[in-house]
Amino acid sequence: MTVLIFDFDGTIADTLETIVTITNRLAVSYGYPQTTPERLKYLRTLSTTELLAQSHVPLFQVPFLMRRVRQELRNEVDSIQPFGQLGDVLLALAADGHSIMIASSNAPSTIRRFLEHHGHSQVYSEVYGNIGLLGKASSLRRIMRRHRLVTGEILYIGDETRDVEAAQCQGLAVAAVSWGFSDRTALVAQGPTFLADTPEELYRMVGEFHWSQRRSLFTGSKRGGTVETPSYVPHVAD
């Protein structure tokens, strides 16, 4: 079995424009500059550390700002759409027998409302939310422990450099998607296992990961039961 753990905002749901609108609305209250289209283009090229340094929000205020953004986003969720053909791809992945979860900074209630609105609730076995901005690595570790998962059976999918960093911190294979927040060049610099430019590419890469996993399990059983973590070939195009 392959376990697919998806990020939500920017990976499944096209929330970028809505989040920028919300954060611009809150800019005066939290004392940071509004994000212009030109500045957004620049911010998308940064790593997580660089982004925090450019945010002009004191670190102690970040959790409060995130909570406020989540609250505002809940009111906008019915107008948010999934990316392109991703909905069909997710249904196909579930039909293929993969176990699919979500691990997100967004509120679980907002995520579930989105999934119900678009008829995708049945796709996901678990939804984990309210993860801190820099807390995804530890959350992935807790998810692995709770479900007794090993690294070689998990593929994490996300759109930000921090998603790639979190997965790599836990020794997980990671598929970065270029249709979300982080710029493609910034994602490439993080060295993800896969890089998908379309949902259809993501579907193919999941298949490659799955069969690589199966081959590794077969090889391990032939060697007397020692199962190795699969060796993946990065699919990061020029």
Tens-place pLDDT, residues 116-166: 999 999 999 999 999 988 899 999 999 999 999 999 999 999 999 999 999
In sequence order, what are the residues at sequence separation of 6 or more whose Cβ sits closer than 8 angstroms to the Cβ of residue 225? Answer: none
User: 7, 9, 159, 163: which one is catalytic?
Assistant: 7
pLDDT of 231 over the 60 cut: no
157-188: b (≥16 Cβ within 10 Å) or e: bbbbbbbbbbbbebebbbbbbbbbbbbbebbb
* pTM for the structure as a whole: 0.88
Max CA pair span of the chain: 63
CA atoms within 13 A on the CB side of 200: 2
34-69 pLDDT tens trace = 999 999 999 999 988 888 888 888 888 888 999 999
| Domain ranges (residues) in the chain | 3-13+82-222, 16-79
Residue 106, pLDDT score? 94
Catalytic, 7? Answer yes
pLDDT of 27 over the 60 cut: yes
Q: Which CATH number fits domain 3-13+82-222: 3.40.30.10, 2.40.10.10, 3.30.2350.10, 3.40.50.1000?
A: 3.40.50.1000
Q: Write out the two tokens for 72.
A: 């505002």
CA atoms within 13 A on the CB side of 67: 5
Q: How many CB atoms lie within 10 A of CB 93?
A: 21
Round to whole Å and give the CA distance between 129 and 92: 24
